[in-house]
Amino acid sequence: MTEIKGARVLVTGGQRGLGKAFAAALLEAGAETVYVTARRPRPETDPRLVPLALEVGDDASVARLAEQVPDVDIVVNNAGATIPNGLLGNDVAEVAHLLDVNVLGALRVTQAFAPVLARRGGGAVVNVHSVLSWASGAGAYGVSKAALWSLTNSLRHELASQGTQVVGVHLGYTDTDMVRALDVPKNDPRDVAAQVVEALLKGESEVLADEVTRHFKAALSGPVEGLAVA
Ligand SMILES: NC(=O)c1ccc[n+]([C@@H]2O[C@H](COP(=O)([O-])OP(=O)(O)OC[C@H]3O[C@@H](n4cnc5c(N)ncnc54)[C@H](OP(=O)(O)O)[C@@H]3O)[C@@H](O)[C@H]2O)c1
């Protein structure tokens, strides 16, 4: 269980999309301050939201952020990107860059802030995966989210000794810029964020945010053909 009332929170990619919804839900649950990052941060009107610059693919940028944010109780690794075309339609360098952002970005931030969380009593790390950690057909993005899922599960073991709760979040299409062009049913980001807040308060390890996500997690125990996206 993680106390949110009075907490200081870091949300990477927290100025738009799901990250913005996480920041709002955490403030609503009583967080004192939410540091919201963007590659080019914009001013916020709510003084409880503190915009800061972060490029998760850049060690120096993460180090600068850690200097600017000495106290944090909850880290939400939300920042993420995608690239079009399948695995055979992208150069390996492009795939490697996506893995660097989506997987190693979360690791960089967690490494930078784990000692801070420990000093403040444990706190929590939330990593935003996808139903595409499990479902096939999403090319490099799916590879990155499967790797991030594994990273989260190992971090949960490594951070247990310092009392840090680690929450992995799986979700299908959610109404943000990332999938703006797709005419499909989408989750409301506020609903996903509310489930994450509940998981933090209850001390849970995983959020399966919607029906499609619960379907694909169950399908992991069936034939591999069942993991194909329709
Ligand atoms: N929307 C969906 O359907 C869906 C489904 C499953 C999982 N997700 C995951 O949810 C998370 C949030 O995505 P979203 O839907 O809110 O997408 P989005 O609207 O495209 O927002 C992406 C966020 O990630 C940040 N970001 C991207 N690349 C970055 C980098 N190299 N360094 C630092 N920040 C970076 C962006 O910050 P800037 O402001 O600097 O651009 C932005 O805040 C991602 O991890 C995504 O994979 C989304």
pLDDT tens-digit map of 146-199:
999 999 999 999 999 999 999 999 999 999 999 999 999 999 999 999 999 999
| Residue 2 falls inside a structural domain | no
| Residue 126 falls inside a structural domain | yes
| Residue 200 falls inside a structural domain | yes
- Where residue 39 falls among pLDDT bands split at 50, 70, 90? very high
Q: Is there a catalytic annotation at residue 35? A: no
Decide: residue 43, CB within 10 A, 0-12 exposed, 13-18 middle, 19+ buried: exposed
Q: Which atom of ligand 1 is nearest to the CA of 82?
A: 47
Q: pLDDT digit string (tens) for 107-159? A: 999 999 999 999 999 999 999 999 999 999 899 999 999 999 999 999 999 99
Q: From ligand 1's centre to the CA of 26, what distance in Å?
A: 18
Minimum CA distance residue for ligand 1 atom 46: 80
d(CA 141, CA 46): 33
**Which alpha helices (H) appear in the chain, and where do they start and end?**
17-28, 59-68, 92-99, 105-119, 139-160, 189-202, 211-219
| Residue 29 falls inside a structural domain | yes
Q: From ligand 1's centre to the CA of 122, what distance in Å?
A: 26
Q: Which atom of ligand 1 is nearest to the CA of 55?
A: 32
Torsion of CA 57, 58, 64, 67, to 10 degrees: 60
Domain count, the chain: 1
Q: From ligand 1's centre to the CA of 40, what distance in Å?
A: 14
CB 105 within 8 A of CB 148: no
| Residue 3 falls inside a structural domain | no
pLDDT at 230 over 80: no
CB 18 within 8 A of CB 128: yes
- Where residue 229 falls among pLDDT bands split at 50, 70, 90? confident
